[in-house]
Structure formats: C-alpha cells, structure tokens
Amino acid sequence: MKSAGTAFGKLRTRVFGDRDIQKDTKLMVYRALVIPTLLYASKTWSPYHHHLKTLENFHQRCLRKILNISWKDRRTSLSVLQDEKTTSIEACITKKQLRWSGHVVRMSNDLLPKQIFYSQLTDGKRKREDQKKRFKDVLKANLKKCNIDFNNWKETARNKPL
C-alpha cells in the first residue's frame, strides 16, 4: 500500500489537483496507475477483514480527493462508488482470485502453480490458536459470495469457452 500511496502522492498536484483536467481523465489515470500498484499480486493473497478494510479506506480516500468530496458532504462510500461506476477493492480482489483460480485449474498438471495449488503439507503442525487463513479458505468464501457451487466450480472453469 505504501507504493500506491507514493504513486497517488506524486500525481496529486499535477493530475488530481489540476482543475483543468476533467474528472473522467483523473479517474482513468487513477485506475491505470494507482489501483494496479495497490493490488499487485492480489490474485494470490489471503486477506483478512482488517486488510480489506485498510485497502478500502485508501481507495475511498483517493476517490474523495480526486472528486473533491469533503466529509461535510456526508456521502456514503457506496454512493461514491456507484456515482463513479467503479467497484470496491474487495470486489476487484475477488474477481482477480476467481479468474486466476480458473487459469490454474485449466493448466497442465506438470506446471508449478498447479502443483502448489493442489499440494498439501505432509510434515509440520501449527499451534491451535495460530490458525492462518489459507488461499483455499479464501477461494471457498469467494465462490460462496458469487453463488458458485464449490463442488463443481472446477468443471465450470475447465469448460470455459475460449
């Protein structure tokens, strides 16, 4: 997130603060430079709720600065996203993860990403209280959010038309 903040900060006065540049152009620059920097490699993340909240706060802060929306305007986060026809960070991450999982399922079995995706640790144990969220847990939750059946999502991904 630090590098995305730096990218936004460097463009703030020249692009986002310039009154001669149209709002649509500013949003295109934001979507092309800041969002990819913020979500770099997010297709492989296993984010917790507080991570998503931090990313979403950054996204909202940037959008509100670009659009000159003050806290006095009393706008909800959802209304800002709807008015600008953009999605939340959580939706972007979910979309990237589902797309990447489909790619992995369609890969040949000898490729490393597929081998890692289906691998299980045979040695080692974790403490009971130190349970970490696995990518498979995140994938299952994303499939449930998108109303995709967990039992046959692999078949659906394999049968995707090209």
Percentage, residues of the chain above pLDDT 90: 52
Q: What is the pLDDT of residue 8?
A: 92
What DSSP letter does each residue of 80-127 carry, written as one string?
HHHHTT---HHHHHHHHHHHHHHHHHHS-TTSHHHHHHT----S----
Query: Where residue 25 falls among pLDDT bands split at 50, 70, 90?
Result: very high
Alpha-carbon gap, residue 28 to 160, rounded angstroms = 30
pLDDT tens, residue by residue, 71-127: 888 999 999 999 888 999 999 999 999 999 999 999 998 998 888 888 876 676 766
A 10 A CB-CB count for 78 gives 9
Alpha-carbon gap, residue 12 to 32, rounded angstroms = 15
Percentage, residues of the chain above pLDDT 70: 94
Q: What is the pLDDT of residue 150?
A: 85
Alpha-carbon gap, residue 96 to 128, rounded angstroms = 31
